[in-house]
Structure 1
Amino acid sequence: MNIVEFDNAPMGSIRYVMHEGEKKFVISQNNIERLFGLLPERPDDSFSDADAWQIEWVRCESITPIKSEVVQFPSPGQFD
């Protein structure tokens, strides 16, 4: 992702990225420094400030966003 893409992406719109060949979860981002805070997977509800040491901060240029897909379900009665 380049700096222009980072600047134009809505805040919080990127949830998963590829970084160094691995899928990672974006838990935070720093817009001033253009950084993403990554975890190996989405944390559960027990994640707290004490676990912040696990966050890996990386430059936006070192990630590739994974685009979310919208699933279209069939309308009721469509297959009747």
Structure 2
Amino acid sequence: MLTSALYQQLTSVNTLWRRLQDMVPRPDEFLQFFGLRSYTSLNGDPGKGLAPHLVSEQIFVNSRLLVADDRYVVLGSAA
């Protein structure tokens, strides 16, 4: 399920990027994509020969409000 969701995100981003490239010479001046990821190290036990284990998870944000700075706010709706 997660693999399918990530594939759909990548497909959406690539499609949007290609369409924007057809309209403007430098799409990176107008659009940027960011991803949030959390990570931690679970300590192993060197006495038992267990090395620390790194764990990483993507953070999904479900929000329709973006406050970029003191001049720009983006508010959207899925409805």
The structure with the greater share of residues assigned to strand is 1
Name the structure where helix makes up a greater proportion of residues.
2
TM-score, with length taken from structure 1: 0.23
Q: Which has the bigger relative contact order, CA under 8 A and spacing at least 6?
A: 1
Instruction: Give the TM-score normalised by structure 2.
Output: 0.23
